[in-house]
Amino acid sequence: MNWRGSVWLPSRGSITALSLALLAARADELGLPFLCSSAVLDALTERPTQWVARIAPAQSHGWQIYADFLLSGGHRRIAVAAQASVYWASGIRIVQDYLVPRGGSLLELDMSVLTAGALCEELVDKRVTALLLLVGYPEPAVSIVRAVRHDRRLPEILVGAPAGQPEFAGWATLLGADGAGIPFLRYLPACLTGLGARVCDRSARATG
């Protein structure tokens, strides 16, 4: 296929998953080459198509690795602080489907009805050892992290962010030491090949 004149959009999965799926479907209808660089939903299109391609692996690949990381760390009682999102709901299903057959459990806590303080009460009551953040940034993510870090009943709990909120530039500024030690998924390898470096350089110049 000739990909000249194609559309390339850098994106953040938790924010743009649904938008990208809509754009990909429209590109398929128009016969317009569409290149997605974000690790978004597995079902980026409803059917196989020659017009849509992705650079990063599909969402399930990374999220299953993250679930395995939790189990390897000895975590079996895991909770997720969640808000409504197609991408996050998909992530919850992927993690739960991986954890449950291997002896883990996943408790979903709806942050549209819970405060950060009420969340901490649930974590203590259910003896949760790991909390995943599938919520918006800066709020309520920042408030949740602060509340958990300063709750003396939760000194050993792991806070994780598979959707990558700690990558935002203001994370360290807003949270300081409280925001450290929060593992997240990162799709760039430790060292790029020559081709990878050239692609990154060109995309950076193209997007400013």
Q: What is the pLDDT of residues 96-113, one digit of tens each?
A: 999 999 999 999 999 999
Which helix (DSSP H) or strand (DSSP E) does residue 153 occupy?
A: none
70 vs 1 pLDDT, higher one = 70
Q: State how far the Cα of 82 lies from the Cα of 101, in Å rounded to an integer.
A: 22
Which residues is 106 bridged to in the sheet?
78
Q: Is the dihedral of CA 179, 182, 187, 189 positive or negative?
A: positive
The tokens describing 121, both together, are: 């009460």
CA dihedral 195, 198, 203, 206 (to 10 degrees): -140
CA dihedral 118, 122, 124, 127 (to 10 degrees): -160
Q: Out of 17-31, 130-144, 149-163, which region has the weakest mean confidence (pLDDT)?
A: 17-31
Half-sphere exposure at residue 120, Cβ-oriented, CA atoms within 13 angstroms: 16
Q: State how far the Cα of 171 lies from the Cα of 146, in Å rounded to an integer.
A: 12
* Cis before 183 (ω within 30): no
Is the predicted pLDDT of residue 16 greater than 80, yes or no? no
Is residue 178 classed as helix, strand or coil in its secondary structure? helix
